[in-house]
Amino acid sequence: MAKGPVTLSIDVGGSNIKAMLLDPRGKPLTERVKLPTPRPATPAAVVATIAKVAEQAGAFERVSVGFPGVIRAGRVLTAVNFDGKWAGFDLQAAVQKKLKKPSRVLNDADMQGYGAIEGSGVELTVTFGTGVGSGLFVDGKLVENLELGHHAFRKGETYEQQLGQKALDTVGKRRWKKRMKLAIAQLLRVFWPRRLCLGGGNARLVDWKLPAGVVVVPNEYGILGGIALWKDEGKQ
C-alpha cells in the first residue's frame, strides 16, 4: 500500500476522460480507466463523467485534473473545443464538491509536460489531439498559459487549425505529417528548447527520424504529471 496520500489523476481529453491512481511519488497504483467525453461537453456533463471515472478508479485522498483550456486558480478561462458555458467556470471547486476531496486543476498540456520533463533548461511539450496544447518549462518551473496552438503558424492559420484533429481528418496523414515536420522546425528555431516533447493521441503518427532533443512521449504522461500539482505539500 502507498505510504502517503493517494492521488486520483484525471486527464480530460476531447475524446475520453481518463484516470489513474498515483502513489505519493507519482507511480501508478492502478491501470488507467476511461470513459468517453460526453457530447455535448458541458460543465455539468464533464463533472458528472469525472465522478464516474473516479468511482471506477478506487479509493483516493486528493484529485488532480488536466483540462484542455486556459486555467487560472482552478477556474476555466477558455475551452474552445468544448460546448457550454465554460468561461469563468470554477472547475476546481466543482470537482472538489462532487468528489468531496481536495482538488487541483491545471491545463492538460501543462500537466503532461510535468510528466515528461527532466527539469533542466528550457523544455517544451506540445500535444496533438482534438486541438494543439503546449507547456513551457524552465529548469522544471512552468511558464503558465502558453497557448501556442492559437498562435499563427502558416498560410494565415494557427497551429491548431493546421494540426488539430479536424485538419488531420481533412487533409490526411501524409499532408499532416508534412505540416508536422514544418512545425517542429519552427518550434526549434523559436524556442531553442533543450528538449521538445511531442505528446497527445496523434503524436503516434510521428514515424520519422526526429532532430536531436525532440522526442515522442507516451500519452499516459498526461495522467502521471498530476502528482506535480501537489509538490508544495512536502509529502512526496
Strands (E) located in 43-128: 62-67, 71-72, 75-76, 103-107, 122-128
Pick 236 or 51 by higher pLDDT. 51
Average pLDDT over residues 110-128: 96
pLDDT confidence tier of residue 1, bands split at 50, 70 and 90: low
Residue 138 pLDDT > 60 = yes
pLDDT tens digit sequence for 66-112: 999 999 999 999 998 899 899 999 999 999 999 999 999 999 999 99
Which amino acid, 112? Q
- Expressed in angstroms, the distance from the first to the final Cα of the chain is 15
* Whether the Cβ atoms of residue 68 and residue 108 lie closer than 8 Å to each other: yes
Q: How far apart are CA 149 and CA 218, in angstroms?
A: 20
Looking at the domain 7-108, which fold is it? Answer: Nucleotidyltransferase; domain 5 (3.30.420)
Q: How far apart are CA 177 and CA 97, in angstroms?
A: 43
Cβ count near 145 (within 10 Å): 16
Looking at the domain 111-221, which fold is it? Answer: Nucleotidyltransferase; domain 5 (3.30.420)
pLDDT confidence tier of residue 4, bands split at 50, 70 and 90: confident
Average pLDDT over residues 206-226: 94
Q: Across-strand partners of 90?
A: 75
Q: What percent of the chain has pLDDT above 70? A: 98
Residue 235 pLDDT > 50 = no
Residue 234 pLDDT > 80 = no
pLDDT tens digit sequence for 147-189: 999 999 999 999 999 999 999 999 999 999 999 999 999 999 9
Q: What percent of the chain has pLDDT above 90? A: 91
* Whether the Cβ atoms of residue 149 and residue 186 lie closer than 8 Å to each other: no
Sheet hosting strand 103-107, strand order edge to edge: 33-36, 16-22, 7-12, 62-67, 103-107
Averaged pLDDT score across all residues of the chain: 94
Query: Where do you find CATH 3.30.420.40 in the chain?
Result: 7-108, 111-221
Residue 236 pLDDT > 60 = no
